[in-house]
Structures are given as structure tokens and as C-alpha cells.
Structure 1
Amino acid sequence: MKELIIGAGKKAYTLVMGRPNPAKLANFPECDVFIYVSCAQTALMDSKDFLAPVITPFEAMLAFNR
């Protein structure tokens, strides 16, 4: 993921935490999107309560590959 993001000309940050929630991710306002890398059972999240979209690695590959 990091190579894909940097290859697209964007900055990449790695955050290690338990299950993300809006309050945790609100501490990182400089992030335009969050890529949630975890097990398949918890990969799908309803991101409408978050300040920035929370997407899966598959969605990130579609977005960053040109």
C-alpha cells in the first residue's frame, strides 16, 4: 500500500490502532483518506460518520492505479 500511495505522488502514514472510530481518526485532520488494512471480517465499515473516507485496500488500488 505504501509503495502504491507514494507512487501516486501522495504522502503515506502508517497508523497502528484497534478498531478505528470517528474520534480516533479525527486526530489526523491532514489525512484525506484512510485505508483500513485488517482481517476480512472487519474490513467493511460505514464511513459516513468519519471526517475522511475509510476505504479498503482494493478500493485504494482502483483509485491510485492509473
Structure 2
Amino acid sequence: MKALIAGAGKKAYTLVVGRPNPAKLVNFPECDVFIYVSCAQTALLDSKEYLAPVITPFEAMLAFNRYCIGNTSLFS
């Protein structure tokens, strides 16, 4: 993820917290989006309560157009 983010010219921060909640993440106003790297069964959060979107690594790869099927990029 860090290489993907850096390749897009963005800055990555690594946060280690228990289960994220709005009260914890509000302390990081410089973050435009949070990528929740965890167990796939607990990765889905209702992000309507958060100031910034909370997405999965798969969604991040889609956003950076790095998800490929075979030799074809999904959005090329």
C-alpha cells in the first residue's frame, strides 16, 4: 500500500489502533482517506460517521487504477 500511495504522489501514514471509530480518526485531520488493512470480515465500516472515507485495500487499488485482470487494467 505504501508503494502504491507514494507512486501516486501522496503521503502515507501508518496508524496502529484497535477497531477504528470516528473519535480516534478525527485526530488525523490531514488524512484525506483511511485505508483499513485488517481481517476481511471486519474491514467494512459504516463510514458515514467519519470525516474522511474509510476504504479497503481493494478499493484503494481501484482508485489508483492499479487493479488488473490479466494484462488489462480495469479502467484503461
TM-score when scaled to structure 1?
A: 0.96
The code of the aligned residue for 1:43 comes to A
For the pair 1:13 / 2:13, whether they are aligned, the reply is yes
How high is the sequence identity, in percent, across the aligned residues?
Answer: 89
Task: Look up the match of 1:54.
Answer: 54
**SS of residue paired to 2:28:** coil
- CA shift for structure 1 position 65: 2.5
Structure showing greater Rg: 2
- CA shift for structure 1 position 41: 1.2
Q: Which structure's residues are more often helix, by fraction?
A: 1
Q: How well do the aligned residues superpose, as a CA RMSD in angstroms?
A: 0.9
Q: Which structure's residues are more often strand, by fraction?
A: 2
For 1:12 and 1:64, locate their aligned partners in 2 and report how far apart those are by CA, in whole Å. Answer: 14
TM-score when scaled to structure 2?
A: 0.84
Q: After superposition, what is the alpha-carbon deviation per residue over 1:27-65, rounded to whole angstroms, capped at 9, x for unaligned?
A: 000000000000011011110000000000000001113
The structure, 1 or 2, with the larger RCO (C-alpha pairs under 8 Å, 6+ apart) is 1
Q: Post-superposition, which runs of at least 4 consecutive aligned residues in structure 1 deviate over 4 A?
A: none
The code of the aligned residue for 1:9 comes to G
Task: Look up the match of 2:40.
Answer: 40
Unaligned runs of 5+ in 1: none
Would you say how many aligned residue pairs link Structure 1 and Structure 2? 66
